[in-house]
Amino acid sequence: MQGETAERILQTARTLISDRGYSAFSYADISEAVQIRKASIHHHFPTKSGLVVAVLRAHRERFLAATQALTHQVEDPLARLQAYVRHWEGCIRDRSQPFCIAALLAAELPSLPEEVGAEVHKHFLALGEWIRQTLEEGVVKRSMKLKGSSEDEAQTFMATVHGAMLSARALGDCAVFEAVTHSALQRIQA
């Protein structure tokens, strides 16, 4: 039962972070949503920063497992990036996770506790590395062409996808995400 409670706390925190960011949620919000006392939350996660670090680690672990699966299951690197974009399009459309929590927290970086900022940094490094490797493989397989270095292009692609999430959220229109990411994919297609 302790594991189930901790998992419910993590899932609720993830949703609250996605909806509100770091500063705008509290243990009281989690307590109300999960229907447990704040003391129970503190038992599992003594500090808010520790809770958010756990949420970010779980987010990164899911991301790493998903990208590893994509890399093994989808031979064409361009199709991999298209699948990555489609994943986020689906999350935005069905509102299951309308924003990457690491990207959302990156906007709050100056005010975040150091350990939370470190986890955000790790996520960006991991995502950038996967995109860079995928781009390089795409060049080798001649399904992609790059205008700059693979590192620069990976950062550009990542920033474009995150920016498209932000625009879609601000405008309340998933079509914005689709249009921006479609252009980003067209830009690198050979």
Query: pLDDT at residue 1 above 80?
Result: no
Tokens of 179: 């249009």
pLDDT in tens, 80-105: 999 999 999 999 998 887 788 999 99
The Cα-based distances of 185 to 84, 126, 171, 175, 190 in angstroms read: 11, 20, 22, 15, 10
Identify whether the C-beta of residue 51 lies closer than 8 Å to the C-beta of residue 43: no
3 pLDDT exceeds 50?
yes
91-114 burial by CB neighbour count: b if 16+ within 10 A, else e?
bbeeeebbbbbbbbbbebeeebee
Structural domain boundaries in the chain = 52-188
Mean pLDDT within 126-135: 98
Q: What angle do CA 65, 41, 63 make, to 5 degrees?
A: 10
The string of pLDDT tens digits covering residues 137-172 is 999 999 999 999 999 999 999 999 999 999 999 999
Instruction: Give the tens place of pLDDT for each residue, 106-117.
Output: 999 999 999 999
The first and second tokens of residue 136, run together, are 């390089």
Indicate the CATH number of 52-188 among 1.25.40.10, 3.40.47.10, 1.10.357.10, 1.10.10.10.
1.10.357.10
Residue 77 has a pLDDT of 97
* pLDDT above 70 as % of the chain: 99
Which tokens is 133 given? 């490797």
pTM of the predicted model, to two decimals? 0.91
Find how far residue 71's CA is from the centre of its chain: 18
Separation of alpha carbons 119 and 34, rounded Å: 25
